[in-house]
């Protein structure tokens, strides 16, 4: 499996299992199947509400000698209601307890959006806290503490713009190793990817298959279906593989990390095998033309009326 070297010398496997939207009752077997197939990287988050079950899958896999802890790269993310500096280490400790781990490989600030500590998901502006009240830099100092306490090997951010990363680089003590963002042929993120690569920050592509299993509340009725794109279909036919496999290998060939989610044993295996495909320059050129800067996860659910957040401010 290919890996990338992070700016601190540590490495991350370029391919991993996504667990967003993987339901309790499904995610434990998904994690176990993935590790059996050879996955070496699992992407988690506290807000996915399934870390306890992911933890069971990990613990059983370690006990069954499927893989050793030190050979799996495990990521989790700080939820938006834990942005105050002193809340970061306790939030991480809860995640470690749920995942039954004594360290994480990577911990990310999930969103550049802050909530009140008692609010899990705000219904109106009163549940949000502005970034002038709890600056991202304050949260970052809390993230640094997780490294200094030996609980996390690498820290980074998610859904961050160039400007927001730049602020952390300029004022923080530890440079972020990663920015995890939505990235696929309809949202190629060229500018952000170039910025990250030239600043030695790796980029993880989330929703690489278009996340068609998102809840209806965060779905547009007329959204384009990435897995059914005609250009991707044609390339898939050329190699006798699936469109999902082309999307995964495209992300790897661009030098990003990719974390397709699946809870189906068959698709978990299929996605893993995408790494054996090799796309040529013409394929890459054709896929390049598909960009339309389309976000499936557009952040509008945080841009609540009368709050300090707008869709534009979240992404800028
Ligand atoms: P399932 O979990 O039933 O396999 P994303 O990673 O972009 O969030 O996309 C996840 C969605 O894509 C889920 O609905 C998942 O369903 C589906 N999926 C995962 N792998 C494949 C595949 N190889 N072919 C088709 N759909 C897939």
pLDDT tens, residue by residue, 11-54: 999 999 999 999 989 999 999 999 999 999 999 999 999 999 99
Structure confidence by residue, pLDDT tens digits, 60-104: 999 999 999 999 999 999 999 999 999 999 999 999 999 999 999
Instruction: From residue 145, give the alpha-carbon distance in Å to each of 9, 104, 142, 174.
Output: 19, 13, 5, 10
| Partner residues linked to 109 by β-bridges | 78, 157
In the chain, the percentage of residues whose pLDDT exceeds 70 is 100
What is the structure's pLDDT at 279? 98
Does 156 have pLDDT greater than 90?
yes
Counting from 1 in the atom list of ligand 1, the atom nearest the Cα of 268 is 20
Task: Report the 10 Å Cβ neighbour count for 181.
Answer: 24
Q: Is the CB of 212 under 6 A from ligand 1?
A: yes
pLDDT at 283: 98
Of residues 271, 247, 275, the one with CA closest to residue 261: 271
The response to whether residue 213 sits with its C-beta less than 6 Å from ligand 1 reads yes
The reply to whether ligand 1 has any atom less than 6 angstroms from the CB of 264 is yes
CB atoms within 10 A of CB 170: 8
> Contact at 8 Å (CB) between 205 and 257?
yes
210 lines ligand 1 (CB under 6 A): yes
Query: Is residue 52 in contact with ligand 1, taking CB distance under 6 Å?
Result: no
User: How far away, in angstroms, is 213 Cα from ligand 1 center?
Assistant: 8
Read off the pLDDT band of 217 (50, 70, 90): confident
Q: Which atom of ligand 1 is nearest to the CA of 26?
A: 2
pLDDT of residue 69: 98
Q: What value does the mean pLDDT of the chain take?
A: 97
- Strands in 110-261 per DSSP E: 114-115, 128-129, 152-158, 178-182, 202-206, 257-258
Percentages helix, strand, coil for the chain, rounded to the nearest 5? 45, 15, 40
Share of the chain above pLDDT 90, in %: 97
The beta-strand segments (E) located in 175-232 are 178-182, 202-206
Q: pTM for this one?
A: 0.98
Atom 11 (ligand 1): residue with closest C-alpha?
211
Q: In angstroms, what is the span from residue 130 Cα to ligand 1's centroid?
A: 35
36 lines ligand 1 (CB under 6 A): no
Question: What is the average per-residue pLDDT within 292-313?
Answer: 96
Region for 262 from its dihedrals, namely left if φ exceeds 0, alpha if ψ lies in -120 to 50, beta otherwise: beta
Distance CA 94, CA 92 (A): 5
State if residue 260 touches ligand 1 by the CB under 6 angstroms criterion: yes
* Catalytic status, residue 239: no
Q: Is the CB of 116 under 6 A from ligand 1?
A: no
Q: Tell me, what's the pLDDT at 24?
A: 85
Tokens standing for residue 68: 């050793």
Catalytic residue among 48, 186, 195, 309: 48
CA nearest ligand 1 atom 9, residue? 211
For residue 313, the model assigns a pLDDT of 97
Mutate to test the pocket of ligand 1, among 223, 227, 251, 260 (most ligand atoms within 8 A of CB): 260
CATH fourth-level superfamily of 10-215+250-262+292-315: NADP-dependent oxidoreductase domain (3.20.20.100)
pLDDT computed for residue 79 by the predictor: 98
| CA of residue 171 to ligand 1 center, whole Å | 39
Please give the average per-residue pLDDT across 257-281, as a whole number.
97
Q: What is the DSSP letter of 246?
A: H
Q: Looking at residue 221, what is its pLDDT?
A: 86
Mean pLDDT of 196-218: 96
Q: Is the CB of 207 under 6 A from ligand 1?
A: yes
Kindly tell me the burial class for residue 293, based on how many C-beta atoms sit within 10 Å of its own C-beta (0-12, 13-18, 19 or more): exposed
Domain boundaries, the chain: 10-215+250-262+292-315
Instruction: Give the mutation target among 248, 264, 271, 272 for probing the ligand 1 site: most ligand atoms within 8 A of CB.
Output: 264
Q: How far separated are the first and last CA of the chain, in Å rounded?
A: 34
DSSP state for residue 23 in the 8-state scheme: P
Atom of ligand 1 nearest to the CA of 184: 7
């Amino acid at each position: 499996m290919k890996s990338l070297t992070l700016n601190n010398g540590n490495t991350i496997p370029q391919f991993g299992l996504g667990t967003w939207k993987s339901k309790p009752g499904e995610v434990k077997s998904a994690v176990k199947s993935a590790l059996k197939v050879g996955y070496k990287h699992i992407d988690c988050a506290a807000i996915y509400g399934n870390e306890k079950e992911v933890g069971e899958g990990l613990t059983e896999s370690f006990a069954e000698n499927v893989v050793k802890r030190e050979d799996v790269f495990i990521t989790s993310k700080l939820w938006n209601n834990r942005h105050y500096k002193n809340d970061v280490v306790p939030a991480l400790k809860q995640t470690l307890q749920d995942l039954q781990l004594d360290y994480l490989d990577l911990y990310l600030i999930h969103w550049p959006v802050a909530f009140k500590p008692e609010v899990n998901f705000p219904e109106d502006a009163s549940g949000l806290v502005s970034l002038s009240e709890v600056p991202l830099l304050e949260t970052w100092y809390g993230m640094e503490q997780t490294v200094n306490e030996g609980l996390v090997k690498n820290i980074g951010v998610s859904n961050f713009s160039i400007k927001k990363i730049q602020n952390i680089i300029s004022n923080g003590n530890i440079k972020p190793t990663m920015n995890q963002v939505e990235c696929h042929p309809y949202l190629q993120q060229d500018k952000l990817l170039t910025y990250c690569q030239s600043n030695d920050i790796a980029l993880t592509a989330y929703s690489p298959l278009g996340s068609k299993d998102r809840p209806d509340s965060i779905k547009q009725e007329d959204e384009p279906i990435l897995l059914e794109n005609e250009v991707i279909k044609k390339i898939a036919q050329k190699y006798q593989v699936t469109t999902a496999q082309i999307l995964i290998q495209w992300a790897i060939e661009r030098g990003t990390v990719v974390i397709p989610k699946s809870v189906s044993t068959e698709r978990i295996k299929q996605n893993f095998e995408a790494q054996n495909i090799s796309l040529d320059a013409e394929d890459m050129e054709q896929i390049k033309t598909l960009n339309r800067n389309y976000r499936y996860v557009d952040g509008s659910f945080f841009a609540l009326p009368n709050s300090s957040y707008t869709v534009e401010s979240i992404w800028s």
